[in-house]
Each structure stands twice: as C-alpha cells, then as structure tokens.
Homo-oligomer: A and B are copies of this chain.
Amino acid sequence: MQLKEMNQEALSLLQNTCQAQYQAFQAAGLKLDMSRGKPSPKQLDLTNGMQTCLSASDYTAENGLDCRNYGCLDGLPEAKAFFAPMLGLKPEDVIVCGNSSLNMMYWAMSLAMTNGVLDSKPWGKYDKVKVLCPVPGYDRHFAVSQFLGMELVNVPMQADGPDMDMVEQLVSTDDTIKAIWCVPMYSNPGGVVYSDEVMKRFAALKPKAADFRIFWDNAYCVHHLTDHPPVQANLLEEARKVGNEDICYLFASTSKITFPGSGVALMAASERNLASLKKALGFSTIGYDKLNQLRHLRFFDGKYENLVAHMKKHKDLIAPKFRIVIDTLQRELGELGIANWSEPLGGYFISFNQTGCAKRIVQLCKEAGVVLTGAGASFPMGVDPKDENIRISPTYPTEEELQKAMEVFTCSAKLAALEQVL
C-alpha cells in the first residue's frame, strides 16, 4: 500500500515498527561508510600485477625513447594507440597524461581563465563567467568552476541527458556562459546514458560565446554493469561531421580501471584544440610519468581486449552490490510510493530521490552509524532545491556491510517519510 493511502492508524503502526528497527540498528553500533565512489579492495586486487609487471630493464618505448628520462610531453605513442579506443577515437586525437583526469579538467578550465581557449580573451578578464551544471551531477566538477570564480547555472537532467532545449536556449543567447560539465555515460549520480539525439544536439551547439567549451568527462565509458552495454555515438566525431569539433574537451582515466591515484588520465580534442593545449602543457609540466604509462601497457599486454576483459572482472565484483541496493530499495520502499531511484547499467552510483527528505535520511543514517554522501552534494553549492537527492555508492563496502547499510537506509527513508505526514 502506498504511504499516502494509509490511514492514521496504519501510519502509526508503521512508525512504531520502523522506530523499533532503527533503535536496534543504533544499539548494534554500526560503522559503515558509503560516502565515496571508491573501488573495493577486491577490485584493487585485480590490478596487483601492475606493481611487478615492469622488470628493471624494461623502460624503452617502441620508438626507442628511454622512458626513465625527460621527454615526450603528451604521452607515449603506444599509450595513445592503446587508450584511444576507450574514447572511440584515433591515437592522434588523444594525449595521455598523469594520474588524475580531474587534474586535467582543473588545468584546462584554469587555463581558459588565465589564457582563454585557442586565441580567445582569457575568461578571467570578463566580469562574469558562467558554467552550466546538469543536476544532479558531480560535486567536484561544480567545485572546480566555483573555486575559479565562475557562476554555476543549474540545468535539469532528464532520462536521456541534460534538458537540451534549455541548454540550446541558454548558450545561444548568453555569451557569459563559457562551459558545461557533462558525464555522458552513466552520469554521476543518475547513471544516465546520454542518447545519440542529445549527443548530436551537443555536437551541433551554436553558442553565442565562441570560446564556449563542453567539458565531457567520460569517466565511466568502459565501466559497464551488463554484458551488452549501450553503444553511444562519439561527441568529437559527431562534432566533426558538422564542422564544430573545437567545441569540446574530452576526458577519461583509468582511476577505476587500475588504481585510483596511480592510473593514467586521457584528454582528447580537435586538432586545433590539441595543438593549443599541447603548447600550454609545455609551460605547466616537463612531461607525465612515462614509466607508469608503460606499466599500464605491460599489464594489459598492449591489447585493448584485455582491458575490456579486466572491466568484466570489475563488473562481476560490483554488479551484485548494485543488485543488493536495488533489491532492498524495491523490497522495502517499492510499495510505499515515497521515493524513486535509478537502476544504472554502469558507473559507480545509484541516485535516490525522496522529496523533502534527503537531509533527514542522511542524518538518520549517520546517527545509526551509516555515513552517506552529504545530501545536496550533487548540486552546485551543495543546494538541492527539493532536498530530494541522495547519491548511493555501493562499490566499497562488502556485500554483507552493504546489505546492512541498505536496511538502515530504507528504515531511515521510511521514518523520514512518516515524519512528513504525521
């Protein structure tokens, strides 16, 4: 029965049951952390071989370059060739960087502030610079822009990507809008896969600001939870078809493929953008860690299909965890009609919505020993206008911990809903 159909007596009965459950959770002294989208130790074990796959004499690139020394600003040629398929691109479209794609995004946006894009005026020289933020979205994206002094403008996410009517209307009329943040596949946190229609509308955008850039963070492009993942059109290729290829910067990394913090980041862009970015890169570093690029190549034996097979092992470890979350949500909340949640085909998050209750649920969970990502984290400045969204990160805890945590979570969700109506 839906909560809204219950009479006072039924509501009170449910509340009593939930409160008893909740007190039992509190008494159990739980300490569970679901706040971060981190791989579990078992997932990391999949990559342990990377620690030992370089011998003491294995440091020479295919072109003879000594990877122990200076040189090779934009990544080993064989690393470009190896990783380009991750983004569905050619080696010449890609540069292979250091250990953090977030760092590349920060660098690229900071660079636009200090030096503009291509030959534009530096963004920092304008009185006002805005960035579009599809919400709910990734807090660290929004934080980068906010830190750099940009104004954040919310755009609602829909089932097939950001509201493109709104995006087109805004960027075509307001030249203070210089960028948009996108996670096109398995968006953080909603798990949305942008449709080809959305992708093509992005590729064909005609912004009023010529120095507008799409920051396209394809963080989860190979992070599937099914054996038959969706196939997505390629933004850079689509943009090339309509002569608009300078509009986007693409990013990805191996942080959740090999080791977070010890992985390899990728950036891709048009030929003109890449030429300009490489020139700028030469001022900001002498080069990235080529031995770590080599380590990745050796670990996967230089074969992209080995990376794909490796991602299936990740899937085998984390898909059951997503199942636990969704099954528990369905079992405990399905009939009540108080909430909805995503059932993503990939990525690292489940997005949960219960209007007016997000903060309260996070608080109740915390008081019962389950730490969640803060309510509002998926919105610019941490402000969720409907106080409804919670990002659930199922990957790090064990299945047992996760099951327990989801029981606390659903109990808290029911209590929060009851507090609203009683």
Q: Chain A: residues with CB nearer than 8 A to chain B? A: 36, 38-39, 41, 44, 47-49, 51-52, 54-59, 66-71, 98-100, 102-103, 106-107, 110-111, 113-115, 122, 124-125, 140, 143-144, 147-149, 255, 259-262, 280, 283-292
- Nearest-neighbor residue (CB-CB) of A290 within chain B: B261
Task: Report how far A144 CA is from B114 CA in the complex, Å.
Answer: 12
Contact A286 B100 (CB under 8 A): yes
What 6 pairs across the A-B complex have the smallest Cβ distances? A106-B284, A103-B285, A48-B56, A147-B283, A262-B291, A44-B68
Task: Report how far A181 CA is from B67 CA in the complex, Å.
Answer: 29
Contacts of A41 in B (CB 8 A): 66, 69
Contacts of A290 in B (CB 8 A): 261-262
Q: How far is the CB of A285 from chain B (nearest CB, A)?
A: 4
Contact of A284 among B51, B70, B99, B103 (CB under 8 A): B103
Task: Report how far A170 CA is from B407 CA in the complex, Å.
Answer: 67
With A58-B51, A106-B283, A148-B115 as contacts: A68 and B262 at CB distance below 8 Å = yes
Contact B114 A68 (CB under 8 A): no
Task: Report how far A114 CA is from B55 CA in the complex, Å.
Answer: 43
Contacts of A289 in B (CB 8 A): 98-99, 261-262, 289, 292
- Nearest-neighbor residue (CB-CB) of A280 within chain B: B147
Contact A51 B56 (CB under 8 A): yes
A and B contact pairs by CB, cutoff 8 A, 11 listed: A41-B66, A68-B260, A68-B261, A69-B259, A70-B261, A99-B289, A100-B286, A114-B124, A144-B283, A261-B287, A262-B289
Contacts of A113 in B (CB 8 A): 113-114, 124
- Count identical subunits in the complex: 2
Contacts of A255 in B (CB 8 A): 70, 286
Task: Report how far A189 CA is from B285 CA in the complex, Å.
Answer: 20
Contacts of A148 in B (CB 8 A): 114-115
Contacts of A38 in B (CB 8 A): 69-70
Q: How far is the CB of A276 from chain B (nearest CB, A)?
A: 12
Known: A51-B54, A52-B52. 6 other contacts (CB 8 A): A52-B54, A68-B259, A103-B284, A115-B149, A261-B288, A292-B292
Task: Report how far A375 CA is from B77 CA in the complex, Å.
Answer: 31
Q: How far is the CB of A284 from chain B (nearest CB, A)?
A: 4
Contacts of A69 in B (CB 8 A): 38-39, 41, 44, 259-261
Contacts of A44 in B (CB 8 A): 59, 66, 68-69
Contact B47 A51 (CB under 8 A): no
Contacts of A285 in B (CB 8 A): 100, 102-103, 106
- Nearest-neighbor residue (CB-CB) of A291 within chain B: B262
Task: Report how far A170 CA is from B54 CA in the complex, Å.
Answer: 52
Q: How far is the CB of A160 from chain B (nearest CB, A)?
A: 29
Q: How far is the CB of A374 from chain B (nearest CB, A)?
A: 15
Contact A56 B66 (CB under 8 A): no
- Nearest-neighbor residue (CB-CB) of A144 within chain B: B283
Task: Report how far A13 CA is from B147 CA in the complex, Å.
Answer: 69
Task: Report how far A47 CA is from B68 CA in the complex, Å.
Answer: 9
Q: How far is the CB of A51 from chain B (nearest CB, A)?
A: 5
Contact A70 B114 (CB under 8 A): no
Contact of A114 among B54, B143, B149, B288 (CB under 8 A): B149
Task: Report how far A110 CA is from B98 CA in the complex, Å.
Answer: 18
Contacts of A39 in B (CB 8 A): 69
Task: Report how far A32 CA is from B156 CA in the complex, Å.
Answer: 61
Task: Report how far A52 CA is from B39 CA in the complex, Å.
Answer: 25
- Nearest-neighbor residue (CB-CB) of A259 within chain B: B68
